[in-house]
Each structure stands twice: as C-alpha cells, then as structure tokens.
C-alpha cells in the first residue's frame, strides 16, 4: 500500500509555473511548446499516465503512442521516462501489472482511482495540456505550410533551411544515442530561439 507521505511530489509541478494549468499555453505558445518535454518529465507525467491507465489498461509502449497522438507527434516521452514512472505508480499502489506476452499490462487499482478522484482537477488539466499542445502543433504546421505557399511572405533562404534540417538531424541523432538528453536539447533550442528574437529587436 502507498504511504501518503510520498504523494507530496506527485504532480506538484502542475500547480506552479505554467499559468495554473492549460492556460499556461496561451498565445502562440511556441516557447511553452518547446518546453513540453520538460513539463511532462518534471511531475505532470505521473498523473497523466495514471489517468490514461484509468481510461483503460495499457502497456508502456501504448502510453507513449497515446501521448504522441494527443500532442500531434510534438512530444514523445522516452521509455527512460515512462517505465520508471510506471514503476513508481506500481510501488505506490496506484497500478498493478501482469504479463501480457513479452509486455506488461498496467491496470489502475482502487487506490489509484481514489487518488485520481482527489486530484481530478490536476489530472484533467494535464490531459487538457496534451490536447492544447496538439492543437498548437497543428496550427504551427499549418502556418509553416502557409508560409511556404504564400508568395506575399518572405521565404526561408536555402542555407537557413539546410541549417534547420541539419539541426533536426543532429537532435534526432543525439536522442537516438541518449533518450534522456531531451531536456538539454529543448533548453538549447529555446535559448537559440530567444537569441534570434533579441537580435531582431
């Protein structure tokens, strides 16, 4: 059974620093979008994963795919983040697991449902944040497609486009070698975007 003293850190980041919930992604929200991985990794993910398992029993891989789908492929939690989260939830008594072929199938417990009921607002805010990230990701992609097709807007120079592709490939390669590098990569990209905006002013 879980010790309630452990609950203090569970989802605590959903209460601060993000505009009190999904509203923290206001405006275009690009910087917040770039921080999506960090937001999820710092605490919200535990409550989100528990809420998703409460919807239906899930495998770890299934949880990764569901979060990808809800964020329109903008954020994909690494196995190095998801599986320790599942271990935490199981040790806390909120979920149980049973073998399902080569995988484990996780199911919410009565205690997990009770904890979700106590923290329903935070759980719903976390799920809503995923939805908002997905909506903003779609808008950003639509805007980028519009930029490419609109003759009245300046096009991205070839060298800049090549550099962006190189950046994407470098980030993908780093993540492939070190899945836990997500927060560091995000920090670098956000800092670069902020530096570009400063130079415009």
CATH code of 71's domain:
1.10.10.10
The domain tally of the chain equals 2
Residues 67, 119, single domain; the answer is: yes
Residues 147, 177, single domain; the answer is: no
What average pLDDT does this structure show over 49-56?
97
141-175 pLDDT, tens digit each: 777 666 555 555 567 787 887 788 778 878 877 87
The neighbouring-strand residues paired with 94 are none
Strand, coil or helix: 100: strand
For 96, other C-beta atoms within 10 Å of its C-beta total: 16
> Where in the chain does DSSP place strands (E)?
95-100, 103-108
pLDDT of residue 67: 92
Residues 67, 126, single domain; the answer is: yes
Residues 175, 123, single domain; the answer is: no
175-191 pLDDT, tens digit each: 777 877 888 888 888 88
d(CA 145, CA 106): 40
84-140 pLDDT, tens digit each: 999 999 999 999 999 999 999 999 999 999 999 999 999 998 899 888 888 887 887
Residues 181, 93, single domain; the answer is: no
Sign of the Cα pseudo-torsion (39, 35, 184, 69, in order): positive
- What's the whole-model pTM score? 0.59
d(CA 82, CA 90): 12
Residues 163, 107, single domain; the answer is: no
Q: Which domain holds residue 112?
A: 4-154
Which residue has 């697991």 as its token pair?
A: 97
Residues 146, 190, single domain; the answer is: no
Q: Which of 28, 1, 14, 40 is nearest to 122 (CA)?
A: 14
């Amino acid at each position: 059974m879980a010790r309630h003293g452990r609950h203090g850190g569970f989802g605590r980041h959903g209460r601060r620093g993000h505009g009190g919930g999904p509203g923290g992604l206001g405006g275009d929200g690009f910087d917040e979008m770039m921080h999506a991985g960090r937001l999820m990794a710092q605490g919200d993910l535990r409550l989100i994963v528990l809420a998703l398992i409460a919807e239906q029993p899930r495998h770890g891989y299934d949880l990764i795919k569901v979060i990808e789908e809800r964020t329109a492929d903008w954020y994909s939690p690494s196995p190095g983040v998801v599986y320790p989260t599942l271990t935490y939830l199981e040790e806390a008594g909120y979920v149980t697991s049973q073998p399902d072929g080569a995988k484990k199938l996780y199911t919410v417990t009565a205690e997990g449902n009770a904890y979700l009921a106590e923290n329903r607002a935070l759980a719903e805010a976390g799920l809503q944040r995923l939805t908002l990230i997905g909506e903003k990701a779609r808008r950003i992609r639509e805007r980028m497609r519009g930029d490419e097709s609109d003759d009245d807007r300046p096009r991205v120079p070839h060298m800049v486009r090549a550099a962006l592709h190189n950046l994407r490939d470098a980030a993908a390669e780093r993540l492939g070698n070190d899945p836990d590098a997500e927060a560091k990569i995000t920090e670098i990209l956000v800092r670069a975007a902020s530096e570009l905006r400063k130079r415009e002013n």
